[in-house]
Amino acid sequence: MSCPLCDSPGGTLLWRDDLCRIVLADEPDYPGFLRVILNAHIKEMTDLSVADQQRLLQVVLAAESALREVMAPDKINLASLGNVVPHLHWHVIPRFADDPHFPNPVWGVKQRGTPHAASSDLDAQLAVELNRQLARAREME
């Protein structure tokens, strides 16, 4: 069976290592919407070794830190669902009080039409900050 996260990067690739990758999702309502995607087709966190669980969460937290640094959102939403695509991935979503669904989940009922404004070189800014955060995470090991 084909899997969209095995068949393609799943967004604009900002960072990757042997375990996982960080992509900027193609979500026009949500500039800065990141996904941390395991490279291997594995379904649940508890299917990973403890070391890989910890590394994956470290990358998720680095993505959160990068978003806070670059976009200063009102809130970060972390979610791992995988009901539609059972290939481990985490959504790391910067939320703003004026974004289309706030305070609902981004998959909930829309409250307004206009996305929160973001700079045009957001992908480059996030890539720089992700590399900085992940280099720092490595140093602290």
The residues of the shown chain that bind Zn ion, judged by CB under 5 A, are: 3, 5-6, 41, 87
Q: Cα separation of 64 and 96, whole Å?
A: 14
At 39, phi and psi to the nearest 5? Answer: -70, -40
| Residue 20 · residue 59 · CB < 8 Å | yes
Q: Least distance from C-beta 19 to Zn ion, angstroms?
A: 14
20-24/75-79 β-pairing: unpaired
Q: Which is nearer to Zn ion, 43 or 110 (CB)?
A: 43
Instruction: Output 47 or 98, the one with its CB closest to Zn ion.
Output: 47
Rounded Cα–Cα distance for residues 83 and 118 (Å): 30
Q: What's the closest the beta carbon of residue 40 comes to Zn ion, in angstroms?
A: 8
3 or 79: CB nearest Zn ion? 3
Whole-number Cα distances in Å, 68 to 49, 75, 81, 108, 109: 29, 9, 22, 23, 25
Instruction: State in angstroms the smallest separation of the CB of 84 from Zn ion.
Output: 12
- From the CB of 4, what's the least distance to Zn ion, in Å? 8
Indicate the residue among 5 and 134 with the shorter CB distance to Zn ion: 5
